[in-house]
């Protein structure tokens, strides 16, 4: 039987040299949940990218409950990419209608209002689906289900849990080091993700100089 959450609680207590009689699993689990919340907000890495398809109802689509940030919005009837606009621009009556051309007929605009995406330049029809590519909140670690930070980035996960533990009631001289290391690692992981995204783009050939 798996026991991912229980094992993580034991690991954190071992770092702090305390037993379950001092900090039981429910207390340590609270630290883990707060660490997941922090990393969900601060991280933008490939493991967070999810794709969801939802039908367009009237002119809007509900966002997934676990969304953190939208990466891409597409119409699946035309496979055109929807362009983001602020609500002020989106609802501005002076906004020019897109020209009548095959290119513009494949594309739409969207804005975000609360937990909804509002789509413009499209006539809603039965079966019209919108594809959302987005950054997902970190799934909670449970005994039955492991999550990707614990699998692929256990160091930053553990250090953030320890940092939160140090703010609970534990005086530990390592607290500042844990916090600084988490910030450094999160920044490095986000920077690497941007490099990974760019590496998939078309490379521009550098013009070679010649003599003569």
How far apart CA 90 and CA 57 sit, in angstroms, is 18
Are 63 and 112 a contacting pair, CB within 8 Å?
yes
Are 131 and 53 a contacting pair, CB within 8 Å?
yes
Q: Which two tokens stand for residue 122?
A: 């499209």
pLDDT value of residue 146: 97
pLDDT value of residue 121: 80
Q: What is the pLDDT of residues 150-161, one digit of tens each?
A: 999 999 999 999
Q: Which two tokens stand for residue 25?
A: 């699993």
Three-state DSSP at 97 gives: coil
Extract the residue ranges of the chain whose pLDDT is less than 70: 95-107, 124, 200-212
> What pTM was estimated for this model as a whole?
0.84
Q: What is the pLDDT of residues 8-33, one digit of tens each?
A: 999 999 999 999 999 999 999 999 99
Burial of 7 (0-12, 13-18, 19+ CB in 10 A): middle
pLDDT value of residue 205: 43
How far apart CA 28 and CA 144 sit, in angstroms, is 17
Residue 168 CA: distances (Å) to CA of 23, 161, 164:
11, 11, 6
How far apart CA 56 and CA 104 sit, in angstroms, is 19
pLDDT value of residue 212: 35
pLDDT value of residue 203: 42
């Amino acid at each position: 039987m798996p026991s991912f959450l229980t094992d993580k609680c034991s690991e954190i207590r071992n770092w702090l040299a305390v037993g379950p009689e001092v900090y039981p699993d429910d207390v340590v689990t609270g630290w883990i949940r707060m660490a997941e919340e922090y990393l969900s907000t601060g991280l933008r890495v490939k493991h967070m990218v999810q794709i969801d398809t939802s039908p367009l109802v009237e002119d809007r689509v509900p966002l997934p409950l676990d969304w953190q940030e939208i990466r891409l919005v597409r119409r699946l009837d035309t496979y055109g990419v929807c362009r983001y606009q602020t609500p002020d621009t989106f609802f501005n009556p002076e906004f020019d209608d897109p020209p009548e051309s095959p290119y513009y007929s494949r594309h739409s605009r969207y804005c975000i209002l609360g937990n909804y995406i509002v789509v413009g330049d499209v006539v809603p029809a039965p079966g019209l689906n919108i594809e959302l590519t987005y950054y997902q909140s970190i799934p909670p670690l449970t005994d039955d289900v492991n999550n990707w930070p614990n699998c692929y980035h256990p160091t930053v996960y553990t250090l953030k849990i320890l940092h939160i533990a140090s703010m609970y009631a534990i005086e530990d001289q390592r607290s500042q080091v844990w916090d600084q290391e988490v910030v450094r690692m999160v920044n490095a992981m986000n920077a690497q993700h941007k490099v990974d995204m760019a590496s998939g783009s078309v490379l521009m050939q550098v013009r070679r100089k010649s003599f003569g």
